[in-house]
């Protein structure tokens, strides 16, 4: 039953921007759907749940009612007009994928089922994590499109580990797992820097696959327009954003803050530029640890990032339809 796959946000949490809550996924009719996938596969089961598991509801609850009203109705300079541009656009919140502390794999199975239903409904999926393991079931669900998908990955870390402590579907492995999916084609990784989980062997594997590795320093040197030029045209795309890929001056609420990440102007340009290049089937924002936030700044940027994705996507789709 679809109703067993998702549950409402936790008591005291609102839906994202107070968009309607929809749990009947078999009757889904929406342009965009917000979905929380709180739990990655833990490397240490004793650490379940973790701070990132609180992020979907923390992001939802960060905005006040007044802020939400402004976001929905006022002129947005990031978009050149109101969020929906005067269009009849439906955004829903599907709540969080259900989970049980005794069966971590069930959470992934349900997440993949939900993502398949959302994609099959022709709806763009926006996933809130959770750690960076949670895009794995979503990327598995991209199989429903039956066409090659370009994966665009923003992160300080490479995420090509095969396993950690015997677990192959955790937060160090999503891009390795993606590379094994026949429907994932080109992989473009942006913002790599500092010291992470990658060994030299994982870097060699990524290069052997043909992944486009654009470290943060090259990105800053050449600019985001040049980065966009290195992403194949036409799409479709899937965008996965680890919050530690963004500079910690604007997203400090991460477990591995690393200087030198994408600033806001670069992040916005990537989102707007990517949706103009071709359809983006979905995106995720993961690895936010609410307990580490400073002055709510991470949540503010998270909301801005998601709104820019929605607003830019619908405008780009309208432009493509007119051609």
DSSP code string of 139-198? HHHGGGG-S-EEEEEE-SS----S-BTTBSSSTT-HHHHHHTSTTEEEEEEEEE-S--S-
How far, rounded to the nearest angstrom, does the alpha carbon of residue 255 sit from its chain's CA centroid? 17
Q: What is the pLDDT of residue 242?
A: 98
Indicate the pairing of strand 124-129 with strand 280-286. Answer: parallel
Q: What is the pLDDT of residue 2?
A: 46
Pair 312, 275: CB distance under 8 Å: yes
Q: What is the pLDDT of residue 46?
A: 79
User: 166: Cβ–Cβ under 8 A, 6 or more apart, which residues?
Assistant: none
Quickly name the fold that domain 2-322 has.
3.40.800
Which of these, 65, 60, 72, 63, lies nearest to 16 by C-alpha position? 60
How far, rounded to the nearest angstrom, does the alpha carbon of residue 71 sit from its chain's CA centroid? 20
pLDDT along the chain (323 residues), means of 10: 79 91 96 97 84 96 93 97 96 94 88 98 97 98 98 98 95 98 98 91 98 98 98 97 98 97 98 98 98 97 98 95 81
Q: What is the pLDDT of residue 245?
A: 98
Q: What is the pLDDT of residue 197?
A: 75
Task: Output DSSP code: residue 98.
Answer: -
Q: What is the pLDDT of residue 114?
A: 98
């Amino acid at each position: 039953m679809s109703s067993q796959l998702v549950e409402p946000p936790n008591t005291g949490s609102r839906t994202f921007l107070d968009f309607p809550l929809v749990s009947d996924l078999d009757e889904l009719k929406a342009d965009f759907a917000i979905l929380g996938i709180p739990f990655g596969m833990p490397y240490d089961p004793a650490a379940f749940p973790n701070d990132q598991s609180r992020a979907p509801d923390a992001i939802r609850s960060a905005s006040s009612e007044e802020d939400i009203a402004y976001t929905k109705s006022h002129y947005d300079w990031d978009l050149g007009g109101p969020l929906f541009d005067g269009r009849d656009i439906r955004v829903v919140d599907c709540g969080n994928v259900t989970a049980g502390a005794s069966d971590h794999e069930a959470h992934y199975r349900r997440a993949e089922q939900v993502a398949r239903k959302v994609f099959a409904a022709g709806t763009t999926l926006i996933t809130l994590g959770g750690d960076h393991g949670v895009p794995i079931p979503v990327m598995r669900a991209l199989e429903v499109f039956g066409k090659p998908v370009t994966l665009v990955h923003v992160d300080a870390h490479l995420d090509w580990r095969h396993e950690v402590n015997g677990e192959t579907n955790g937060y160090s492995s999503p891009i390795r797992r993606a590379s094994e999916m026949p429907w994932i084609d080109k992989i473009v990784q942006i913002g790599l820097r500092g010291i992470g989980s990658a060994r030299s062997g994982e870097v060699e594997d990524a290069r052997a696959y043909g992944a486009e590795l654009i470290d943060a320093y090259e990105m800053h040197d050449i600019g985001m327009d040049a980065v966009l030029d290195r992403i194949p045209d036409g799409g479709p795309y899937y965008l996965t954003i680890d919050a530690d890929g963004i500079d910690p001056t604007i997203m400090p609420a991460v477990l591995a803050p690393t200087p030198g990440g994408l600033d806001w102007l670069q992040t916005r340009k990537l989102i707007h530029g990517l949706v103009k290049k071709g359809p983006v089937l979905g995106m995720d924002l993961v690895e936010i640890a609410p307990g580490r936030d400073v002055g709510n700044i991470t949540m503010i940027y998270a909301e801005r990032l998601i709104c820019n994705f929605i607003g830019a996507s619908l405008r780009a789709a309208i432009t493509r339809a007119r051609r």
